[in-house]
Structure 1
Amino acid sequence: MLVLSRKKGESIIIQDHIEVTVLEVDGDTVRIGISAPKHVDIFRKELYVSIQEANRESATPSVPEVAALMELLREEKDRKK
């Protein structure tokens, strides 16, 4: 991890296209501004983690869903006999 010190109004540049600027420092809270191309998604980490967990859950079928699907396939196979 790269650790930098920046003051209010100072920025960092990431790969020529993303600029992160310190807008305000108030106690333990730092407000930052991010300028990036529209195709770059920017998320707060807690939201990003939540999205990733939801994606994993939706991509993993539950056991009852798999069992129901298997039953439907058996029924269809029996019906075709």
Structure 2
Amino acid sequence: MGTTITSREFNRDVSAAKRAAEKGPVTITDHGRASHVLLTAEEYDRIANQGERLGERLQMENAENVDLLLPERTGSSLRVPEL
């Protein structure tokens, strides 16, 4: 999980927020609402680079052996058409 701190706490002790980010994402709130998330550079790079485009994956050699990780469907998005 992660840590949540207020923007005031963040401004008062940036070093503590950085230390907390070493253990996981730090959500910074402003007036009770999440406004920013602090991550380590390593974690940011990992997240930013995992989003390959589907087209790029399909154009690869041996694309038939690539496992696509698709999000699990929640609920039904199918609707009965009105006739």
Instruction: Compute the TM-score of the two structures, normalised by the length of structure 1.
Output: 0.34
Higher relative contact order (CA 8 A, sep 6+): 2
Q: Which has the larger radius of gyration?
A: 1
Higher strand share: 1
